[in-house]
């Protein structure tokens, strides 16, 4: 009997219209974590930032938009793309980190869950459609996919909607240079059991987690500005630690997923990796191929959106996947039968990956 595979039948994304360029930060005052002033010229700060991250601009949501709003927009697009009746969705899984955060409040609101709010906005009446959230750091969307795959293969669900959505612009510390990394966005996918007579779908998955000293590499902390209110918290990270951690462990997780799939490294057409840092992502993929004695052409195997969209956490991978499928990155195409490798790393610290046949 052929094993059930979970296939992605529709995708959608929402990329905010508001563009924030690096030049918009040229007059911003920045401080180190010890509250000391960074007195380098603004032009030098943003030039170094671009050299390190590859980010030239990012997208931020409008003041009247919240996380549930943009998640629902991406979800609606995925439902239309899949051509399904929304009332047939068994689970709505939303990956995020901070829930709804109203502009200028930095207060997290996750009651009710973002998934429940998305279901409300989609107008779904089916009482058997279960909405719930996944808090897993930047790898949250992949974790939602892994969870949906388990439910579908077990027969406990037939169709799932998995969304990654975040408005990180609401929780950044404007006095921290890391503010320039983060962005807003949402991506969604419909997953269901493969019924098209092919062997398309999720072939294998892998997870890895470290929660000793690594647990605080990404955290919620006080502003870098002197005399700031210590009770007000913002997203913070230890960039060098995350870079070193990612290079050490993400290639291993990718290798585990590939080994479990039974596919060869040569068969992998595209690697869709969390858009965290352009140089870091390239280094991860290079180290992964080095395990097999190969030196790939990174620009051909690894589509990137970080230069224009920044790091929208859980939204980067589903958004990137949707963009490639919709021919919005003309230098990259995904064709039926292609083997894809998805991978992410983030707060926890958590890592995950899955191998997928288009």
Q: What is the mean pLDDT of the chain?
A: 95
Structural contact between residues 136 and 66, judged by C-beta atoms closer than 8 angstroms: no
- What 3-state class would DSSP assign to 88? helix
Euclidean distance between CA atoms 233 and 6, whole angstroms: 39
Q: Is the N-terminal amide bond of 231 cis, ω within 30° of 0?
A: no
Q: State the CB neighbour count (10 A cutoff) for residue 238.
A: 16
pLDDT score at 1: 43
Structural contact between residues 342 and 317, judged by C-beta atoms closer than 8 angstroms: yes
Euclidean distance between CA atoms 110 and 228, whole angstroms: 26
Euclidean distance between CA atoms 84 and 62, whole angstroms: 30
pLDDT score at 296: 87
Distance between terminal CA atoms of the chain? 21
Q: Round the CA-based radius of gyration of the chain to a whole number and report it.
A: 20
Beta bridge partners of 17: none
Closest of 136, 146, 152, 91 to residue 118, by C-alpha: 91
Query: Which residues does 127 contact at the CB level (< 8 Å), separation at least 6?
Result: none
Structural contact between residues 208 and 249, judged by C-beta atoms closer than 8 angstroms: yes
C-alpha torsion angle, residues 256, 137, 314, 174 (rounded to 10): -140
Closest of 342, 339, 337, 200 to residue 266, by C-alpha: 339
Q: State the CB neighbour count (10 A cutoff) for residue 69.
A: 19
pLDDT score at 2: 56
Question: What does each C-alpha distance from 176 to 119, 161, 221 come to in angstroms?
Answer: 35, 35, 11
Where would I find the beta strands (DSSP E) of 226-288? 233-237, 268-273
Euclidean distance between CA atoms 130 and 349, whole angstroms: 28
User: Residue 143 is encoded by which pair of tokens?
Assistant: 């974790």
Q: CA angle 191-261-250, nearest 5°?
A: 90
What are the chain's domains? 6-193 (3.40.47.10), 201-357 (3.40.47.10)
Euclidean distance between CA atoms 10 and 83, whole angstroms: 8
Query: Which residues does 104 contact at the CB level (< 8 Å), separation at least 6?
Result: none
Question: What does each C-alpha distance from 7 to 17, 85, 304 come to in angstroms?
Answer: 30, 17, 23
Euclidean distance between CA atoms 224 and 33, whole angstroms: 5
pLDDT by position in tens, the chain (length 358): 457 899 999 999 999 999 999 999 999 999 999 999 999 999 999 999 999 999 999 999 999 999 999 999 999 999 999 999 999 999 999 999 999 999 888 789 999 999 999 999 999 999 999 999 999 999 999 999 999 999 999 999 999 999 999 999 999 999 999 999 999 999 999 999 987 778 999 999 999 999 999 999 999 999 999 989 988 999 999 999 999 999 999 999 999 999 999 999 999 999 999 999 999 999 999 999 999 999 989 999 999 999 999 999 999 999 999 999 999 999 999 999 999 999 999 999 999 999 999 9
Closest of 233, 193, 241 to residue 217, by C-alpha: 241
The number of C-alpha atoms within 13 Å of 215 and in the hemisphere containing its C-beta is 3
Structural contact between residues 108 and 101, judged by C-beta atoms closer than 8 angstroms: yes
- What 3-state class would DSSP assign to 165? strand
């Amino acid at each position: 009997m052929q094993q059930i595979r979970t296939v992605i039948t529709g995708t959608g994304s929402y990329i905010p219209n508001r563009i924030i360029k690096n030049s918009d930060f040229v007059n911003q005052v920045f401080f180190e974590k010890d509250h000391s002033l960074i007195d380098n010229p603004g032009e030098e700060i943003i030039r170094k930032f671009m050299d390190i991250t590859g980010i030239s601009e990012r997208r931020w949501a409008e003041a009247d938009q919240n996380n549930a709003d943009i998640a629902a927009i991406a979800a609606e697009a995925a439902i239309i793309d899949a051509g399904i009746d929304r009332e047939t969705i068994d689970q709505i899984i939303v990956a995020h980190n901070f829930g709804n955060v109203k502009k200028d409040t930095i207060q997290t609101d996750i009651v009710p869950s973002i998934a429940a709010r998305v279901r409300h906005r989609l107008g779904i009446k089916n009482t058997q459609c279960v909405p719930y959230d996944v808090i897993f750091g930047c790898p949250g969307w992949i974790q939602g996919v892994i969870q949906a795959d388990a439910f579908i293969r077990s027969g406990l669900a037939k169709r799932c909607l998995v969304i990654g959505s975040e408005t990180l612009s609401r929780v950044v510390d404007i006095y921290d240079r890391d503010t320039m990394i983060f962005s807003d966005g949402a991506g969604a996918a419909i997953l269901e059991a493969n019924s098209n007579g092919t062997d398309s779908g999720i072939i294998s998955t892998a997870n890895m987690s470290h929660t000793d000293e690594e647990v605080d590499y990404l955290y919620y902390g006080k502003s870098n500005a002197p005399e700031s209110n210590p009770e007000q918290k913002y997203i913070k990270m230890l960039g060098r630690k995350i870079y070193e951690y990612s290079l050490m462990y993400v290639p291993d997780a990718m290798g585990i997923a590939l080994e479990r799939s039974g596919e060869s490294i040569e068969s992998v057409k595209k690697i869709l990796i969390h858009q965290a840092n352009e140089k870091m992502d390239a280094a991860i993929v290079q180290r992964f191929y080095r395990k097999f004695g190969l030196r790939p052409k990174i620009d051909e195997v690894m589509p990137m959106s970080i230069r224009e969209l920044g790091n929208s956490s859980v939204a980067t991978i589903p958004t990137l996947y949707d963009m490639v499928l919709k021919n919005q990155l003309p230098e990259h195409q995904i064709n039926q039968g292609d083997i894809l490798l998805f991978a992410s790393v983030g707060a926890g610290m958590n890592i995950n990956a899955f191998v997928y046949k288009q």
